[in-house]
Amino acid sequence: MFAAREGMRRYENGGPPTSPRIIRRNIFGHAQIECCVDKEVEGVSDTKDAAERYAGAAMLLPRFLRETAMALSEDGRSRAEELRLRTGRRLSVLLPNGERELSGETIRRSDLDGMLELATGASAHTARDAISAGYVTVAGGYRIGLCGTAAVRGGAVTGFRFISSAAIRVSRQIVGAADGVVAGVCNGGTVRSTLVISPPGAGKTTLLRDIVRTLSRGGSPGIPGFRIALADERGEVAAMLDGQPQMDVGPRTDVLDSCPKAEAVMMLLRSMNPQVVALDEITAPDDVRAIKYAANCGVKLLATAHADTPDDLRARPIYRELLEAGIFEKAVVIRKENGARVYELIDLRRTVW
C-alpha cells in the first residue's frame, strides 16, 4: 500500500533518537488566580534539549529534506512545533508565529511513502489501525499526522490509497511545566478535579501530561502519589508505542489509548480502581456522561477543553453542563502575554456561572 519506490532511494536509514516559574497573584471576578509565567516560551529553558527533539523529528525525513530541516537556526529548531510535508511543495516548519516554508527541493509522493515505510518499520499492515485513524506514533513519542486519498472498505476507512500531506509533530515533554499550579490542583493530600482550558495549540496537553506525571510520582509535600487512569484516545499524552509510554506519565499511571474517551473512562473505572481519571479534550456528550459517572463514583478528574476564556467555556452547552454540575473545582486557563505562556489557576467554586 505504501511502496516507497523512488523515495526510498533518497532516504537514509536511521530513526529518531524544570523550567523556572514566576508566581504572582491577582483577582479574576470572585476567584483568586495564581499566574504562572512559563519562561520556556521566553527561551529561558533548555533550548539545547528542545533543539535535540527537533533533530529527532528531522531524522524521520528523507536525507535531502533532513538537511533542509537542520539548516534552520538553533533558535528556530528549539521553537519549532511541527514539520509539514505536502506533495508539490517545499518542506515547511510550524513556529509559534506561523508556518514558514523552507528552501530546497519540492516533495514528491514517493518521499511521503518512503517516510511512512520507515516510520512504521517498513510494514504498513502492522500500523493499519493507527493509519486508519489518520496518524501513526513512532519511537520517541513523535506523531505523524497523515492526509491524502482514503481507502474505504465496507463503509469504514482502512487506511490511505495515497499520502499527499504529513505533519510530524515535534514531541516535547516539559518536565516541571505544572510546578506553578500543582499545589492548587492538589493540596492537603487531596486532588481537586481540574479542567485545563485554552485555544488549540496553546499547551493544554503538555500541561495535563505534567500534572499527571507529578501527581503519579508523588514525593512532594501534600502529594503522596496517586493511582491515575489515563484515557488517551488519540495517544497524545503518553504516546504509547508497543505498550510502552514514550512520555513520562508517572509510575502509578495506567494508560488506555486508541479507545473512545467515554468508553475508556468506564473501562478504567471497572478495571484499574483509580483515584484519579485523566482525559484529553472533552468534545462530546458521551464524554460528559462518563465524567459525571466517574465523579459520582468518588473519582477525581483531570481534563482539557478548548476555550479562550472561562466565559467562552460557559457559553458552550457541553461545558456549561459540567460547570453547573460542580464537578470541577479548579480550572487552569492558559494564555500568552508578550510571547510567554501564562497559567491562571481559578477556583471554580468561588466563581458565579
pTM for the model stands at 0.76
- 19 — pLDDT class (breaks 50, 70, 90): very low
What torsion, rounded to 10 degrees, do the Cα atoms 243, 248, 254, 259 define?
-60
Residue 353 CB contacts under 8 Å (≥ 6 apart), including other chains: 314, 320, 323, 324
What would the grid cell of residue 90 be?
Answer: 517545499
Q: β-strands 142-153, 156-169: how paired?
A: antiparallel
Whole-number Å distance between alpha carbons of 43 and 75: 9
pLDDT of 15 strictly over 50: no
Residue 20: pLDDT band (50, 70, 90) is very low
Q: What CATH number belongs to 6-15+59-169? A: 3.30.450.90
CB contact at 8 A, 170 and 245: no
Rg of the chain over all Cα atoms, to the nearest angstrom = 21
- Which pLDDT tens digit goes with each residue over 107-155? 999 888 888 877 777 554 555 555 777 888 777 778 899 999 888 888 8
52 or 48: whose pLDDT is higher? 52
Give the C-alpha distances (Å, rounded to integers) separating 174 from 40, 41, 55, 202, 304: 8, 11, 17, 13, 17
Average pLDDT over residues 187-215: 92
Give yes or no for residue 86 having a pLDDT over 90.
yes
What's the pLDDT score for residue 130?
58
Number of C-beta neighbours around residue 258 at 10 A = 14
Please report, for the chain, the start and end positions of each structural domain, with discontinuous segments joined by +. Answer: 6-15+59-169, 21-44+173-350
Confidence band (pLDDT; 50, 70, 90) for 296?
very high
Fold of 21-44+173-350: Rossmann fold (3.40.50)
Which residues have CB under 8 Å from 59's CB, separation 6+? Answer: 14, 15, 16, 17, 66
User: Where residue 351 falls among pLDDT bands split at 50, 70, 90?
Assistant: low
Q: What is the pLDDT of residues 224-281, one digit of tens each?
A: 999 999 999 988 899 888 889 989 999 999 999 989 999 999 999 999 999 999 999 9
The rounded distance, in Å, linking the Cα atoms of 317 and 325 is: 12
